[in-house]
Amino acid sequence: MRFFTAGESHGPCLTAIIEGLPAGLSIDIDKINQDLARRQQGYGRGGRMKIEQDTAEVLSGIRFGETLGSPVTLAIRNKDWANWGGRMAAFGEPEGKQVLEARPGHADLTGTLKYDREDIRDILERASARETAARVAVGGIAKQLLGVFGMTIVSHVTNIGGVQISESVDYASLEQRKAGSDLSCIQPDVEDKMKAAIQQAKEAGDTLGGIFEVAALQVIPGLGSHVQWDRRLDTRLAALLMSIPAIKGVEFGAGFGYAALLGSVAHDEIFYNEQQGYSRQTNRAGGIEGGMSNGEVIVARAVMKPIPTLMKPLASVDIKTKQAVKASTERSDVCAVTAAAVVGEAMLAIGLAQTLLEQFSRDNMADLATAVKSYTDRVVAK
């Protein structure tokens, strides 16, 4: 399963083309739209999210609620296009003020030089994380494929600006625990502190980052492989999570915490009984050993840097005059870790769906289900 996204932040729409989905997968568009709505939420978001009401439109590949095996095209219209049509027109004379003050931490300066543009807008429109709405739509389809095989994806925010949760999580009840939270945080008292930190940053014209955790439950064991570097499941999932704008680190299971552990306490001991088969009492590996899912919950965390657009801008240079200036201020989020977590869910779902489809490559859902069942009957029932 391959996918591409296209579209500028203030262009007419975002599009995604997904190729390689089996025919006969039932698609519930409402579920995709629910994820799109979740990506728009989170305390600390900017004004743009109040304008948009993202919904996915199907342009190809789905008929009467089922995939056809042909490429699926999804489109998400940008409501803000109504205000930007002139400035973002495909043809005609340039309209509107050029952006010339490169923002530190964004794609502005390097992108403008590399692509030989005069207006930073030519770069920022695509570098903007508005693009991640298209990925969430693709992830919505990947989640529905995984759902056929009992796999589910959840996420929550564990740290904002250094304010960290202290409780450990039972992933099966995660959704209930974070219900009603504006930040996807399971601890209301910690969430209050996170909100206060965001508010304080906002008042100071500053921004914040943080950490989110994504988990995949009921994963079929043996997805991925130890035999080649690029077939390792952790290789793929790390790359997909790192591809989210502003994500600067990814870890699985105990992750960077392994540095402080002895081998005798780092690894998950293996047990066996006839009813349950193989089992473990701990999951420090985060569900992946030897580049393969081991049947435990897959747990990954990603750290997001603070948003680069600051209302109290940093020092920069005007790319035309080369004079010292303050960086540009585009309408912007103060903190978007909660939204990034929804994108993280999508990327995790996409990686697992891609691996599943590579491993059990079939053109239709009936054949895929038969292949997966014959495999799981052998591997899981042992």
Annotated binding site: 39, 45, 126-128, 290, 305-309, 331
271 three-state secondary structure: strand
The widest CA-to-CA distance across the chain, in whole angstroms, is: 75
Asked whether position 307 contacts ligand FMN by CB under 6 A, the answer is yes
The torsion defined by the Cα of 192, 194, 195 and 197, in degrees rounded to 10, comes to: 120
Asked whether position 336 contacts ligand FMN by CB under 6 A, the answer is yes
Q: Output the smallest distance, CB 303 to ligand FMN, in A.
A: 11
Restricted to residues 107-126, the positions that interact with ligand FMN (CB under 6 A) are 107
Q: Which of 17, 238, 343, 352 binds ligand FMN (CB under 6 A)?
A: 343
Nearer to ligand FMN, 209 or 295 (CB): 209
Question: What is the chain's alpha carbon radius of gyration, rounded to the nearest angstrom?
Answer: 22
Sequential DSSP letters for 73-112: EEEEE-TTHHHHTTTT-SSSS--SPPP-BPPTTSSHHHHH
Measured CA distances, 354 to 121, 225, 255 (Å): 34, 13, 24
Q: Which of 54, 101, 213, 333 binds ligand FMN (CB under 6 A)?
A: 333
Nearer to ligand FMN, 74 or 339 (CB): 339
Nearer to ligand FMN, 197 or 327 (CB): 327
Q: Output the smallest distance, CB 142 to ligand FMN, in A.
A: 18
Restricted to residues 17-56, the positions that interact with ligand FMN (CB under 6 A) are 46
Nearer to ligand FMN, 48 or 195 (CB): 48
Q: Output the smallest distance, CB 197 to ligand FMN, in A.
A: 17
Q: Output the smallest distance, CB 75 to ligand FMN, in A.
A: 19
Alpha helices in the chain (DSSP H): 29-39, 48-51, 81-84, 108-114, 121-127, 132-148, 174-178, 188-203, 233-242, 263-266, 337-359, 365-380
d(CA 139, CA 102): 32
Look up residue 228 and give its DSSP letter.
S
Q: Which of 151, 340, 347, 365 binds ligand FMN (CB under 6 A)?
A: 340
User: How buried is 266 (Cβ within 10 angstroms: 0-12 exposed, 13-18 middle, 19+ buried)?
Assistant: middle
Nearer to ligand FMN, 49 or 220 (CB): 49
Nearer to ligand FMN, 12 or 105 (CB): 105
Residue 139 phi/psi, 5° resolution? -60, -30
Asked whether position 303 contacts ligand FMN by CB under 6 A, the answer is no
Restricted to residues 243-262, the positions that interact with ligand FMN (CB under 6 A) are 244-246
Q: Are 293 and 306 in contact (CB under 8 A)?
A: no
Q: Where does this chain bind ligand FMN (CB under 6 A)?
A: 46, 105-107, 127-129, 132, 244-246, 305, 307-309, 332-333, 336, 339-340, 343
